[in-house]
């Protein structure tokens, strides 16, 4: 309500200005309900800042030197004078002066130390070589300014403790928010350094200003550099260096000179909608790190030994993994035990584990554009996602398996064959309430794995409280990674994984199958509209750039789009986690399925019927899978599928109907996904599951297993859509268990 009042007021003011050009508008402040916590200035953001030089003269100078973008002319100050909706976190003069002085001292001191001992003390280049604000370069001003501006409007009513705003800053960095009661007054904080908002919700014609007591300064260092700044993780860091994987964590840019201004293809399914092009193309990582205190605690590992240095960690890795013969001390080779240990701690994308985070691990805490995540995810289930790490499956551990080219690919981050890790928000488990858990066990783990399962991911605040020596004053916020602390030692055990951890239906939103879409904040980022065009290979000027290495077009008529959560007649898409993958045209495309351990599985997709859909033929590893699937919405098609309503049916009758659907290759949608007003998707006659293949023996291969989709609509005109809402890979022990039907309740 507060936000609506603010926007309505500004809309009325803008209309008045349109009618009385050149006139003076007065009395705005009297019209505002002061209980809404904001002050209306009657100015645009740039004018408000310029009219208060005693507070913002330094920040104005920074904005006036900051460029809008790589190929855009003009300054950010000029942008903040134009029509739009912006949020500007404006540091006061004292904050800017303090920041410049501190950054200069860091740079100056590092030069002095480097002169004494170059091997021990590298030069830390902060981009600030003078203590004077006026000496800041245009490049540094651009970096600072873009960290403080969001191209959408957010007030403190949108802030919550431990949440991130649903749009990134102009520098594509997430901004975390926090609140606290101090002396019976609510305080608001933003950024990794918890800068305090000392004057909140200053409303202008084109957005909101929040005055800060500190400069927001997300690190421009990479993960390898950040890890060197904290002594409390020295054991893990030294082991990382021995494996050579620290060089991998120095990587960031995937495509030098990436151009995000290229014209995206038209989205034909929604008239008038123009997709945007992905804004960045970078490589990212997530690190799960045991602090020294965890490794040094003998009660935290099965050996009962304190691990006090990297050599002792290597010895422990030998116990749980073992090196291939001849590789016991070749620490930078995938056949070495320490390499295996460290590589399982690196996930193939940047993942936030905070609620509402752009680039988050699962849709949680979102309430945007009419979409509410809690109305989409039934809280009576444990919600999990499954990611790939840099640890190769055992089939590739054998001596002689790796060529020199493949070893180099490992070091460059080009490897694409990692063991799975499971991340869970266990809503139904009281022991882990409000926690994020790695490798949550479905049953009691073995004696060894009781030390290595049900691992809690700690927030930085909680980690600092538990391990005060670990962080010091280091903000673990590298540009190319997310760093998280864990409270137990993490190892991979395939028997435990297949028996207790992923002995369940595994479900992926298809978007989570492609690391690039999370790392580059395509997913759930509301910065730039509803649709994003995903280049996927081909010969024409746009398609020739493949954005996701696991997703590719097989012809030039294939156009692939990502759709963000969006309200429709049913309040939102009838979709798992709100978003979806759409492919248009006379398409022929394929994507690599997530790696799963060796076993027998059933593969399914979820989709929704629509008049815009067509008929699709599925292939798995080049082999045709059954008859084509008709995704069009008409009663004849629903009858062919055999959808039925549960209403007034007995349990036996429901089971019989489900068996009949399965015989046709279909299943009803899950009850655990909710649509509209918390209605189970199972009750929607437009939502289906298609069984692509069953009783399939899957074995990890270096090339991976690929699912291909081809438009085989009769008399296709190229406007037909392929829709995929989710992917399921289900072990035989689950799909072949009629006594425990999936998602019935």
- Residue spans of the domains in the chain: they are 2-212, 223-252+282-501, 516-735
What is the spatial distance between Cα 745 and Cα 742, in angstroms, rounded to a whole number? 8
What is the spatial distance between Cα 354 and Cα 164, in angstroms, rounded to a whole number? 7
What is residue 14's predicted lDDT score, i.e. its pLDDT?
Answer: 36
What is residue 255's predicted lDDT score, i.e. its pLDDT?
Answer: 81
C-alpha closest to that of 99 among 66, 63, 127: 127
What is the spatial distance between Cα 634 and Cα 456, in angstroms, rounded to a whole number? 47
Range ranked top by mean pLDDT from 6-20, 37-51, 339-353: 339-353
What is the spatial distance between Cα 509 and Cα 421, in angstroms, rounded to a whole number? 16
Using an 8 Å Cβ cutoff, are 484 and 458 in contact?
yes
**pLDDT tens digits for range 138-181:** 999 999 999 999 988 999 988 876 677 878 888 888 888 888 88
What is residue 718's predicted lDDT score, i.e. its pLDDT?
Answer: 83
Strand partners, 691: 604
Using an 8 Å Cβ cutoff, are 496 and 453 in contact?
yes
| Per-residue pLDDT band at 21 (split at 50, 70, 90) | very low
DSSP 265-298: PP-TTSTT--PBPPS--B--EEEEE--HHHHT-G
Q: What is the pTM of this model?
A: 0.83
Residue 240 has pLDDT above 50, yes or no: yes
- Identify the weakest region by mean pLDDT among 160-169, 247-256, 322-331, 539-548: 539-548
What is residue 570's predicted lDDT score, i.e. its pLDDT?
Answer: 45
Task: List, in sequence order, every beta strand (DSSP E) within 168-225.
Answer: 176-182, 185-190, 195-204, 207-212
Q: Residues 651-680: what's their mean pLDDT?
A: 88
Other C-beta atoms lying within 10 Å of the C-beta of residue 57: 16
Q: Residues 337-365: what's their mean pLDDT?
A: 80
Under DSSP, the state recorded for 206 is T
- Identify the weakest region by mean pLDDT among 240-249, 411-420, 534-543: 534-543
What is residue 10's predicted lDDT score, i.e. its pLDDT?
Answer: 41
DSSP 615-637: EEEEEETTEE-SS-EE-B-SHHH
What is residue 4's predicted lDDT score, i.e. its pLDDT?
Answer: 33
Give helix 93-116 / helix 53-65 axis angle, nearest 10°. Answer: 60
**pLDDT tens digits for range 526-580:** 655 678 899 888 655 555 678 999 999 999 889 999 988 765 544 445 678 878 8
Fold match, 2-212 / 223-252+282-501: yes
| Per-residue pLDDT band at 231 (split at 50, 70, 90) | confident
What is the spatial distance between Cα 672 and Cα 691, in angstroms, rounded to a whole number? 18
- Identify the weakest region by mean pLDDT among 382-386, 408-412, 478-482, 493-497: 408-412
**pLDDT tens digits for range 431-440:** 888 789 999 9
What is the spatial distance between Cα 574 and Cα 683, in angstroms, rounded to a whole number? 11
Residue 379 has pLDDT above 80, yes or no: no
DSSP 93-132: HHHHHHHHHHHHHHHHHHHHHHHH-TTT------S--SS-
> Looking at domain 223-252+282-501, which of 2.30.180.10, 3.20.20.10, 3.40.1550.10, 3.30.9.10 is its CATH number?
2.30.180.10
The gap from C-alpha 261 to its chain's centroid, in whole angstroms, comes to 23
CATH of domain 516-735: 2.60.120
What HEC string does 673-697 produce?
Answer: EEECCCEEHHHCCCEEEEEEEEEEE
**pLDDT tens digits for range 589-646:** 999 999 999 999 999 999 999 888 999 999 999 999 999 999 998 888 888 999 999 9
What is residue 197's predicted lDDT score, i.e. its pLDDT?
Answer: 96
Fold annotation for 2-212: FAS1 domain (2.30.180)
In the chain, the percentage of residues whose pLDDT exceeds 90 is: 47
- Does residue 135 or residue 217 have the better pLDDT? 135
What is residue 294's predicted lDDT score, i.e. its pLDDT?
Answer: 93
Residue 696 has pLDDT above 50, yes or no: yes
Q: What is the CA radius of gyration of the chain?
A: 27
| Per-residue pLDDT band at 513 (split at 50, 70, 90) | very high
- Does residue 270 or residue 101 have the better pLDDT? 101
- For the sheet with 599-608, list strands across it: 506-508, 726-731, 599-608, 687-698, 666-668
């Amino acid at each position: 309500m507060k936000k609506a009042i603010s926007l309505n007021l500004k809309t009325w003011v803008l209309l008045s200005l349109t009618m009385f050009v050149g006139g003076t508008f007065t009395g705005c402040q009297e019209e505002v309900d002061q209980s809404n916590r904001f002050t209306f200035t009657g100015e645009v953001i740039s004018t408000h800042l310029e009219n208060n030089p005693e507070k913002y003269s330094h920040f104005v100078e920074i904005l006036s030197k900051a460029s809008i973008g790589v190929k855009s002319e003009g300054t950010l100050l000029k942008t903040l004078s134009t029509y739009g909706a912006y949020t500007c976190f404006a540091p006061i003069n004292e904050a800017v002066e303090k920041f410049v002085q501190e950054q200069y001292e860091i740079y100056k001191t590092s030069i002095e130390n480097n002169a004494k001992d170059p091997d021990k003390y590298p030069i830390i280049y902060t981009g600030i070589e003078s203590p004077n604000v006026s000496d800041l370069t245009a490049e540094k001003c651009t970096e600072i300014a873009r960290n403080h501006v969001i191209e959408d409007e957010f007030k403190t009513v949108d802030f919550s403790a431990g949440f991130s705003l649903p749009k990134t800053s102009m520098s594509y960095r997430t901004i975390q928010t926090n609140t606290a009661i101090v002396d019976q007054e609510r305080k608001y904080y933003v950024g990794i350094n918890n800068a305090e908002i000392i004057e909140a919700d200053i409303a202008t014609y084109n957005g909101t200003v929040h005055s800060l007591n500190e400069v927001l300064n997300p690190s421009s260092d990479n993960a390898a550099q950040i890890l060197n700044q904290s002594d409390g993780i020295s054991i893990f860091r030294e082991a990382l260096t021995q494996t050579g994987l620290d060089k991998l964590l120095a990587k960031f840019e995937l495509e030098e000179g990436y151009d995000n201004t290229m014209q995206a293809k038209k989205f034909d399914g929604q008239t008038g909608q123009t997709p945007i092009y992905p804004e960045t193309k970078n490589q990212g990582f997530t690190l799960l790190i045991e602090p020294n205190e965890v490794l040094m605690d003998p009660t935290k590992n099965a050996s009962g030994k304190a691990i006090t240095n990297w050599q002792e960690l290597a010895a422990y890795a030998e116990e749980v993994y073992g090196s291939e013969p001849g590789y016991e001390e070749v620490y930078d080779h995938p056949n070495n035990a320490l390499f295996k240990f460290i590589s399982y701690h690196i996930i193939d994308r940047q993942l936030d584990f905070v609620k509402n985070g752009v680039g988050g691990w699962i849709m949680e805490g979102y309430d945007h554009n009419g979409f509410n995540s809690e109305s989409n995810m039934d809280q009576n289930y444990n919600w999990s996602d499954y990611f790939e790490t840099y640890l190769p499956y055992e089939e590739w551990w054998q001596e002689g398996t790796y060529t020199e080219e493949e070893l180099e690919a490992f070091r460059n981050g080009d490897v694409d064959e990692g063991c799975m890790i499971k991340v869970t928000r266990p809503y139904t488990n009281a022991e882990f309430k409000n926690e994020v858990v790695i490798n949550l066990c479905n049953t009691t783990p073995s004696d060894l794995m009781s030390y290595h399962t049900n691992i809690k991911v700690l927030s930085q605040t909680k980690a600092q409280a538990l391990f005060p020596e670990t962080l010091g004053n280091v903000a673990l916020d590298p540009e190319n990674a997310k760093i998280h602390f864990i409270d137990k030692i993490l190892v991979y055990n395939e028997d435990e994984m297949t028996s207790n951890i992923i002995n369940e239906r595994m479900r992926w939103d298809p978007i989570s199958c492609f690391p690039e879409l999370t790392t580059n904040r395509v997913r759930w980022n509301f910065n730039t509209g509803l649709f994003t065009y995903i280049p996927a290979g081909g010969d024409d000027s746009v398609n020739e750039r493949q954005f996701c290495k696991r997703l590719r077009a097989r012809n030039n008529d294939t156009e692939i789009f990502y759709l963000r959560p969006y309200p429709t007649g049913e309040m939102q898409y009838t979709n798992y986690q709100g978003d979806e993958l759409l492919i248009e045209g006379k398409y022929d495309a394929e994507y690599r399925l997530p790696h799963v351990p060796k076993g027998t599985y059933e593969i399914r997709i979820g989709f929704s019927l629509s008049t815009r859909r067509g008929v699709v033929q599925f292939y798995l590893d080049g082999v045709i899978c059954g008859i084509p699937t008709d995704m069009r919405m008409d009663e004849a098609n629903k009858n062919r599928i055999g959808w039925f309503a549960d209403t007034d049916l007995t349990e036996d009758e429901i089971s019989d109907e489900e068996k009949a659907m399965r015989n046709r290759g279909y299943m009803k949608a899950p009850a655990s996904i909710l649509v509209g007003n918390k209605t189970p998707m199972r009750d929607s006659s437009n939502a289906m599951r298609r069984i692509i293949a069953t009783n399939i023996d899957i074995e990890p291969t270096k090339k991976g297993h690929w699912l291909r989709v081809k438009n085989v609509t009769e008399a296709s005109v190229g406007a037909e859509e392929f829709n995929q809402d989710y992917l399921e890979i289900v072990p035989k022990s689950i799909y072949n268990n009629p006594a425990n039907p999936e998602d019935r309740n």
